[in-house]
Chains A and B, each alone.
Chain A
Amino acid sequence: MSQSLSEECTPLKRKYDACFNAWFEGYLEPAVSASASSEQRAKFAQQKATEFENSCGKIWQEYRQCIQKAVKDKGLDVLLEQARQENPLKEPPPPQPLDNPRS
């Protein structure tokens, strides 16, 4: 699709993206199945999380190592850390502020 911010990491990035996309293909459809109970969904999510780790974990480690270095070399690590501290965004933001669509 697109390239990495470091040319060196681009091949790893593409491999990782391809791996994620292949996994994601099989993720949405059963996961959104309306008939599934929350219990079934949780079980499915767990199973898929493990599957993701198994199939993409190794390439992710390689890509991550590369990109972490590149981010540091560009001096972005400090800025990223600041942004994370200011707003960790660990949970989806609450719907409230978005309730008034502008468009």
Chain B
Amino acid sequence: MIVHHVLSIDVVDRSVDPNTGIIRTERILGCKQKAPGWIVRLFGGSEDAYVREVSFVDPATQTATITSVNLSLSQFATCYESIRYTPSPDGRTTFAQTAEIQARVALWRSAADKLENWLVQRFEQNAQLGKLGFTDVLRQLWETREQRTAQQS
């Protein structure tokens, strides 16, 4: 895998909708990601962080949507991240990315704020990485395809 902090990838569910042709894939990604020391000290937990990721590939609209949420430490905070690739009229691909971060706790205020801030920072640092990783996967898929088409024509 291209994104270096992803250590493991497992498919836990996958289906092909026989009517729409949409492929739904649910995966668990394992990452080495150090939580701040004070979180580990307070709540326990480990260096292994796991993420649930659900993706939809719709061949009819040529759209791919990927939503992910953390499993580890999810009792304290969740970060929903969604990215979508759609074809735009000029022949390029539109990339859209959103994130929703929520501290679940009625922890004392400052700790919850600290946690949210840390998570927002992490997201900003990693957003680019995730995009690069998946873009690379897509590029590989489509480049081989284009080469083949080019050779044929």
Chain B 35-68 interface 0/1 with A at a Cβ cutoff of 8 Å (1 = within): 0000000000000001010101011101101010
Residue of B nearest to A67 (CB): B10
User: Number of residues in A with C-beta < 8 Å to the partner?
Assistant: 51
**Is the CB of B105 closer than 8 A to any CB of chain A?**
no
Chain A residues 1 to 24 lying within 8 A of chain B, measured CB to CB, are 1-5, 9, 13, 16-17, 20, 24
In the bound complex, residues from chain B placing their C-beta under 8 Å from that of A54 are none
Task: Select the residue from B24, B59, B60, B63 with max chain A CB neighbours within 10 A.
Answer: B59
In the bound complex, residues from chain A placing their C-beta under 8 Å from that of B16 are 45, 48-49, 52
Contact (Cβ within 8 A) A82 B50: no
Chain A 63-76 interface 0/1 with B at a Cβ cutoff of 8 Å (1 = within): 11001101100101
Chain A 41-55 interface 0/1 with B at a Cβ cutoff of 8 Å (1 = within): 110111011001000
Distance in angstroms from B98 CB to nearest chain A CB is 6
Task: Select the residue from A4, A41, A87, A98 with max chain B CB neighbours within 10 A.
Answer: A98
Which secondary structure characterizes the binding site on chain B?
A: strand
**Is the CB of B6 closer than 8 A to any CB of chain A?**
yes
Residue from the list B18, B52, B54, B58 in contact with A46, Cβ < 8 A: B18
Residue from the list B6, B10, B26, B86 in contact with A13, Cβ < 8 A: B10
Contact (Cβ within 8 A) A41 B21: yes
**Is the CB of B34 closer than 8 A to any CB of chain A?**
no
Chain B interfacial positions (CB closer than 8 Å to A):
1, 6-12, 14, 16-24, 26, 28, 30, 50, 52, 54, 56, 58-60, 62-63, 65, 67, 69, 71-72, 74, 80, 82-84, 86, 94-98, 141, 145
Chain A interfacial positions (CB closer than 8 Å to B):
1-5, 9, 13, 16-17, 20, 24, 27-29, 31-32, 38, 41-42, 44-46, 48-49, 52, 60, 63-64, 67-68, 70-71, 74, 76, 79-80, 82-83, 87, 89-90, 92-93, 95, 97-103
